[in-house]
């Protein structure tokens, strides 16, 4: 594998001339929280940018060789990158964000390699969890490698605050979508001629929301990025006013995901501090969220025998009122075709909850292809869907996008794991499971299956 030498990139003097194309950051109006309480953990000097930031989102700041991983054997070049994005959560202006870029072995095709932008699932909110620092977990690294073998370059953001300063904006799809799009811009900026502005986005679990968020904001935030298709597996996004409402999620889930969300910008600005909301028994989980990663938090929660009922100082309804509905989206017509993949044995995000997203996106007039994978759990859905995802991406790139299968899909049966409630088609009336527009913030099930 060839790794490029460290290369700092200076500020771009004419950055804001791109404003009319949607490429210039908005004026900052807020302050980014930083420090250990925000999950900031010292990494290498590569991740810290002390000088002025270019105003142009997607400007490449620096790059260096990425950590080698045995699962990624189809990369000819592996890079760690630091680039500029814009803070969507605290509106603090330009921010540095980290990520990785992989180029296939060999000579690129005419026009450059197409790009698969990978949006990862839950890893934690502390800087030490950034994949560019720790390496991609084996499942994700093997998934990246499959795209490389298929002739795609892979651009993988760490997301805002995961490696860079401030809290990781966990599950907040606008922030994650900006991180994805600006990582693609940075890769194109750093490798002109080697990469084609020909982009598909693929994401799992947390990253499924990032992928759908990318499609939602691409036209206004990054019209210069030629997005062809979006693939989302283990779908986390929620659509409160969609046509189908799944039954409420069961109680008794591990509290560590909720704590990740509270640390990761998930509290409303007028809410009490997270330290006041976490109980004394759950204090070790809060400290672990600020300095460790989700797998360790999940193990600690099991060891402490902590449930939602004894992890917080307020009840579930009061806590829900204090939180941002991070995964909620309004269902609108998106500019690209969508492939949504669901493991029928998913016990982390119930198949019916994922079907609710399918139904909402179909009702909004999107070209949605929904693929359930029998016997597949949450962790297995990216690889189970890969062959379909590759064919879907290639068809979109060739100008033959799939028309979708909205008319043929129906809700998973009650006998399937995690499912409940009646069967329904994608256009069925919404079940009265919750008040329209008032869905509680989403809480997944297990940290080690993202």
pTM of the model: 0.88
Average pLDDT, the chain: 87
Place of tokens 């029928």: 344
In this structure, what token pair is assigned to residue 136?
């991609």
415 neighbors 345 (Cβ within 8 angstroms): no
Which of 8-17, 35-44, 203-212, 411-420 ranks highest by mean pLDDT? Answer: 203-212
Confidence of residue 125 (pLDDT cuts 50, 70, 90): very high
Confidence of residue 80 (pLDDT cuts 50, 70, 90): very high
Tell me if residue 23 falls in helix, strand or coil: coil
Say whether pLDDT at 415 is over 50: no
pLDDT per residue as tens digits for the range 129-147: 999 999 999 999 999 999 9
431 neighbors 424 (Cβ within 8 angstroms): yes
Say whether pLDDT at 335 is over 70: yes
Confidence of residue 245 (pLDDT cuts 50, 70, 90): confident
Confidence of residue 300 (pLDDT cuts 50, 70, 90): confident
d(CA 87, CA 314): 30
Give ranges for CATH 3.40.50.1820 in the chain: 56-247+328-450
In this structure, what token pair is assigned to residue 259?
């704590």
- Structural fold of domain 56-247+328-450: Rossmann fold (3.40.50)
Residues 6+ apart with CB under 8 A from 130: 43, 47, 98, 123, 158, 162, 163
Say whether pLDDT at 277 is over 90: yes
Query: DSSP letters along 159-174, please?
Result: -TTSSSSS---TT-HH
pLDDT per residue as tens digits for the range 147-194: 999 999 999 999 999 999 999 999 999 999 999 999 999 999 999 999
Say whether pLDDT at 12 is over 70: no
Mean pLDDT computed over 226-248: 91
Q: What share of the chain is helix, strand, coil (3-state, %, to 5)?
A: 30, 20, 50
Say whether pLDDT at 13 is over 60: no
Please, what sign has the CA dihedral across residues 40, 145, 121, 160? positive
């Amino acid at each position: 594998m060839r790794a490029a030498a460290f290369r700092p990139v200076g500020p771009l003097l004419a950055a804001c001339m791109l404003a009319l194309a949607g490429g210039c950051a908005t004026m900052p109006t807020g302050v980014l929280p930083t420090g250990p309480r925000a999950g900031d953990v010292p990494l290498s000097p590569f991740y810290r940018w002390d000088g002025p930031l270019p105003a142009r989102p997607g400007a490449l700041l620096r790059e260096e060789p990425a950590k080698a991983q045995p699962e990624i054997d189809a990369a000819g070049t592996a890079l760690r990158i630091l680039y500029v994005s814009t803070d969507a959560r605290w509106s603090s202006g330009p921010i540095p964000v980290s990520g990785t870029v992989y180029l296939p072995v060999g000579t690129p095709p005419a026009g450059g390699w197409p790009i698969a932008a990978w949006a990862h699932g839950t890893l934690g909110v502390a800087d030490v969890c950034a994949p560019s620092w720790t390496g991609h977990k084996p499942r994700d690294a093997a998934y990246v490698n499959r795209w490389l073998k298929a002739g795609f370059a892979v651009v993988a953001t760490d997301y805002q605050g995961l490696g860079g300063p401030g809290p990781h904006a966990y599950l907040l799809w606008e922030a994650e979508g900006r991180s994805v799009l600006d990582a693609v811009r940075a890769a194109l900026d750093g490798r002109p001629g080697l990469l084609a502005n020909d982009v598909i986005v693929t994401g799992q679990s947390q990253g499924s929301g990032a992928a759908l968020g990318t499609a939602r904001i691409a036209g206004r935030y990054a019209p210069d990025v030629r997005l062809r298709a979006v693939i989302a597996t283990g779908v986390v996004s929620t659509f409160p006013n969609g046509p189908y409402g799944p039954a409420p999620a069961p109680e008794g889930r591990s509290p560590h995901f909720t704590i990740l969300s509270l640390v990761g910008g998930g509290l409303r600005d007028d809410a009490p501090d997270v330290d006041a909301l976490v109980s004394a028994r759950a204090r070790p989980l809060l400290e672990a969220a600020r300095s460790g990663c989700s797998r360790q938090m999940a193990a600690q929660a099991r060891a402490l025998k902590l449930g939602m009922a004894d992890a917080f100082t307020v009840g579930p309804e009061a806590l829900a009122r204090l939180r941002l509905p991070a995964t909620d989206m309004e269902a609108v017509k998106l500019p690209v075709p969508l492939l949504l993949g669901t493991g029928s044995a998913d016990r982390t995000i119930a198949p019916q909850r994922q079907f609710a997203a399918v139904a909402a996106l179909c009702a909004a007039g999107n070209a949605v292809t929904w693929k359930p994978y029998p016997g597949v759990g949450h962790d297995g859905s990216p690889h189970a869907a890969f062959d379909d995802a590759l064919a879907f991406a290639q068809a979109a790139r060739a100008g033959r996008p799939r028309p979708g299968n909205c008319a043929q899909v129906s809700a998973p049966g009650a006998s399937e794991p995690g499912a409940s409630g009646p069967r329904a088609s994608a256009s069925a009336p919404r079940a009265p499971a919750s008040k329209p527009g008032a869905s509680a913030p989403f809480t997944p099930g297990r940290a080690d299956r993202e």
